[in-house]
Amino acid sequence: MNTGLTLLELLIALVIGSVVISAVYAVYISQLHSVNTQDKIVAMRQNWRAGHYVLGRELMKAGYCSDIVSEFQPGFTRATKGALTFTYVEEGTDNLVSVAFDLVADDGVKRIVRTVSGVAAPIADDIETLQFIYELKSGSTTWAPEAKHLNDIRSIRVTIVARTESSVEGYPTPTAFALPFPDDHTENTLNFSSDGVYRQLVTGVFNCRNM
């Protein structure tokens, strides 16, 4: 009695096996893409959180001086929509320290760069936009205070639009963002191409407690 499989049965078994293997492979590839996407988004969020934290921590030093009477007059020396510079007197050494924040493009990558007394170092990569809105002691807000009002700055709204290093799959990728704007404007929008890159907007207000 012949108990072997016929050619038709072998073909059916091969087809069923191929379908199962294809389904398993498709699930594996989908999970792999999902993990890669999440890794990129986590890296992006770590970037902007680091930049936001350092900016906030440093801005609280603006204008600091432990001495009531000092030869220095620390405070803001530059305040524009996309960059700022301020000074403070370092406690213990009584040295005047200058701190600047700029958005710098290098080899196609935009990053927030902090410059302390002439020494520059990046604090966050893959940043599309960095904007500052300054609130003055009068309560008004502006993107660029006049030089005579630099000492009137009381708080700063920092807005960042960060991006993933490369495109992501299977994740919504918004291309239009409504950013905060000062009193003398009615809108502030940013639009990007549909390039598959995930972007996120984050904004926060930091008080300049020494101004």
Total residue count of the chain as it appears in this document: 211
Work out the average pLDDT over 85-103: 92
**Which residues, other chains included, contact 147 with Cβ-Cβ below 8 Å and sequence gap of 6+?**
none
Residue 122 has pLDDT above 80, yes or no: yes
Residue 108 banded pLDDT, cuts 50, 70, 90: confident
Q: What are the pLDDT digits (tens) for 136-161?
A: 999 999 999 999 999 999 999 999 99
Q: What is the DSSP string of 49-112?
A: HHHHHHHHHHHTTTT--SSSS-S---SEEEE-SS-EEEEEEPTTT--EEEEEEEEEEETTEEEE
Supply the pTM of this predicted model.
0.82
> Would you state the pLDDT for residue 24?
78
Q: What are the pLDDT digits (tens) for 35-62?
A: 677 889 999 999 999 999 999 999 999 9
Helices (H), the chain: 7-59
Query: In the chain, where are the structural domains located?
Result: 34-207
> Would you state the pLDDT for residue 27?
73
Across the chain, mean pLDDT equals 88
> Would you state the pLDDT for residue 4?
63
Integer Cα distance of 30 and 43 in angstroms: 20
Residues above pLDDT 70, as percent of the chain = 91
Work out the average pLDDT over 15-26: 78
**Which residues, other chains included, contact 170 with Cβ-Cβ below 8 Å and sequence gap of 6+?**
30, 33, 34, 37
> Would you state the pLDDT for residue 135?
97
Q: What are the pLDDT digits (tens) for 192-209?
A: 998 999 999 999 999 998
